[in-house]
Amino acid sequence: MLFMGLDVGTQGVRCVVVDEKGNVAAAKSVVFERLNTAKDPGLYEQDPKDWERAMEEAVTACTAALKGLGIPAEEIRALSIDGTSGTILPLDENNAPLMHALMYNDPRASLEAAQVHGAMGAHEKKLGLSFGASFSLPRILWIRDNAPALYEKTCTFAHQADYVAGLLCGEYRVSDYSNALKTGYDLIDGRWPGEIRELGLDPDKLPRILQPGAPIARVSPEAAGRFGLASRTWVTGGSTDGYASALAAGAVQAGSWASIIGTTFVLKGVTKELVIDPNGSSYSHRLPSGEWLLGGAANIGGRCLNACAQGRPFAQLDQEAMALVPTGARCYPLTGRGERFPFVDPGAEPFYRGDILGGKLYPALLEGVGFAERLAFERMMKLGCPVGDTIFATGGACRSDVWLKIRASILNRRLAVPRVVDAAMGSALLAASGHFGSLKAAAAAMISFDKEVEPESAWVAPYEEAYRAFEADCAKLYRMEG
């Protein structure tokens, strides 16, 4: 029995097919032909035809690989899709795109975001979020105000994952409450709020909402023939890419946390009750269990290492770092201005304290990101969130054993690295959740770990002292209120 997960990201599509034990039977990644089709500088759009072409190549490669192994497509019981959060695409009555999709990082709806913010203050307070230009609801308002004829022709405003699901099953007017969060869906009452109509928007243009993993429809005969799939396979409710990444790491029950460090740092953890963050740096999605997935994304992360490396292999730098840590230095190594999590300070700038000469800069940067990671965890604990003894760690930072050891020692917690960390794996878990009876049961059966990293006992005390000094530095330099 197999399950398929599709991750439709910023740069391409990743498809994985796994069995009920989480073993990968087939996988394929395909990059988009174009990453940005916007004509004006500073704006971000993508052509849904590029999504379709990449999805077709990825899926057909996987079904062909299965066929080569003697495995029929009928073994794929269900599939699910995740997409970029906040991306929106208007469709006409025939489900054809009326324009290129407005991507999650397109800033054009900033004025509309302020309008939504003013009209939906009670909704924001209720759910603990703040509508910004990265949300899809302000983009719908922008389309209404700047392309009214196109708005009138729109039958459905689809999210990225919705559109790809429609290509596979023919149902384009269904979404999940993970993607719908940034379109204004009320996760507590399970409805589109009345304020949407008060904004002058037609709620009939919004999709019907299911929970992630719920069945939508079976693969259409046309899609089955085109992609090598079987018409008995269910297409199920999807999620955003960040949501799926957290699931793939194992964040599926209260107290579990996924710490994802790549170019930037993302933290997501599960709480039993909805947690409201007064400083607005984090907000929650909802899990099918009724629990909540709280998270935030920082501007800090692995990007700071690139300039320091100056082309030298990271493996060599890691080896040299082992003899220099703990360095005794401390830093918050932002590569630009501003921070958004675990505090919000648009004017935040990097700081460095202590000796970072003689080769110590690289290990000090590793430690600095580790200190920022702990600051985020302590913020979550201050909000009343339980954090267990084991943190699920994913992202490019997990390629560095010394960095894992540094982070484990700063946190004084075990780090567990999952065997398969693709967001597509999180979508496969959602596809499998119906078979297993719950997402938790699917994760227990399908997620395994490549390695576990314990704190280095000799490093724990020095890092505790350095972290407390780092924490005091941050309190002096940054806006940490809330």
What pLDDT is stored for residue 357 in this prediction? 85
In angstroms, the CA 402 to CA 385 distance is 28
**Which amino acid type is present at position 61?**
A
**Alpha helix ranges (H) inside 154-235:** 160-169, 195-198, 221-227
User: Looking at residues 186-215, what average pLDDT do you find?
Assistant: 97
Span 456-477, pLDDT tens digits: 999 999 999 999 999 999 999 9
pLDDT digits (tens, 9 = 90+) for 149-166: 999 999 999 999 999 999
For residue 79, give the H/E element and its range. Answer: strand 76-83
Q: Nearest-CA neighbor of 330 among 155, 154, 164, 465?
A: 465
**% of the chain residues with pLDDT over 70:** 100
Going by pLDDT thresholds of 50, 70 and 90, the confidence category of residue 481 is confident
Tell whether the model's pLDDT for residue 441 goes beyond 70.
yes
If one counts every other C-beta atom within 10 angstroms of the C-beta of residue 21, the result is 10
Q: Which of 55, 205, 49, 210 is nearest to 139 (CA)?
A: 205
Q: Does domain 2-242 correspond to CATH entry 3.30.420.40?
A: yes
**Three-point CA angle 80, 82, 85, nearest 5°:** 155
- Read off the pLDDT of residues 130-149 as tens digits, 9 standing for 90 and up: 999 999 999 999 999 999 99
Domain ranges of the chain: 2-242, 250-477
Q: Note the pLDDT of residue 39.
A: 96
Distance between CA 399 and CA 317 in Å, rounded? 13
Residue-wise pLDDT for 221-256, tens only, equals: 999 999 999 999 999 999 999 999 999 999 999 999
Q: Residue 307's pLDDT is what?
A: 84
State the Cα–Cα distance between residues 71 and 69, nearest whole angstrom. 5
pLDDT score of 310 more than 90: no
Q: State how far the Cα of 84 lies from the Cα of 119, in Å rounded to an integer.
A: 25
pTM of the model: 0.93
Q: Which element (helix H / strand E) includes 462? A: helix 457-477
Question: Using CA of residue 211, residue 215, residue 221, residue 226, what is the dihedral sign?
Answer: positive
* Amino acid, res. 322: M
pLDDT at residue number 482: 64
User: In which residue are the tokens 């398929």 written?
Assistant: 4
Residue with tokens 């429809």: 217
Residues 418 and 392: beta-carbon distance below 8 Å:
yes
Could you give the CA distance from residue 158 to residue 269 in angstroms, rounded to a whole number?
A: 27
59-91 pLDDT, tens digit per residue, is 999 999 999 999 999 999 999 999 999 999 999
Task: Report yes or no: 238 and 179 within 8 Å, Cβ to Cβ.
Answer: yes
Quote the pLDDT of residue 281.
94
Residue of 132, 112, 127, 133 lying closest to 200 (CA atoms): 112
Instruction: For the domain made up of 250-477, give the CATH fold.
Output: Nucleotidyltransferase; domain 5 (3.30.420)
Q: Is the pLDDT of residue 352 over 90?
A: yes
- Report d(CA 162, CA 179) in Å as an integer: 9
Radius of gyration of the chain (CA): 22
